[in-house]
Amino acid sequence: MIKSIISKLFGNNTNQYTPLLTGKVRPPNVPNNWIGTALPQNQGWAWTNPENRGDCVRIYAGDEPFVVVTQDGMVIGRDGKPTGERIDD
């Protein structure tokens, strides 16, 4: 999922993923009032709803960058439905 978003933003040049992974670029469809913070150990970046910390978009760096979207702490799958997994901060 993140690879397709990144490709739309930056093409296939992986060196240009950096602005998205460092919070310099807000991902598409992330509300303007959500707060961006670095993930621990430079793993990537997270955008969190200030009114509900369980709503979050986490963008992880790595050889293959990936995204984890949560709603009320529940992981949302590619189909837009909860997967049954939970992430608690």
Please tell me which residue, 16 or 20, carries the higher pLDDT value: 20
The residues facing 74 across adjacent strands are 71, 86
Q: What is the pLDDT of residue 12?
A: 53
Residues 20-61 pLDDT 10s: 777 778 887 888 999 999 999 888 899 999 999 999 988 888
Give the Cα separation of 87 and 6 in Å (integer).
Answer: 23
Which residues are within 8 A (CB) of 58 and not within 5 positions of it... i.e. 6 or more apart? Answer: 39, 44, 45, 46, 47, 67, 68, 69, 70
Provide the whole-model pTM.
0.74
DSSP 3-state of 62: coil
Residues of the chain with pLDDT > 70: what percent?
Answer: 79
7 pLDDT exceeds 90?
no
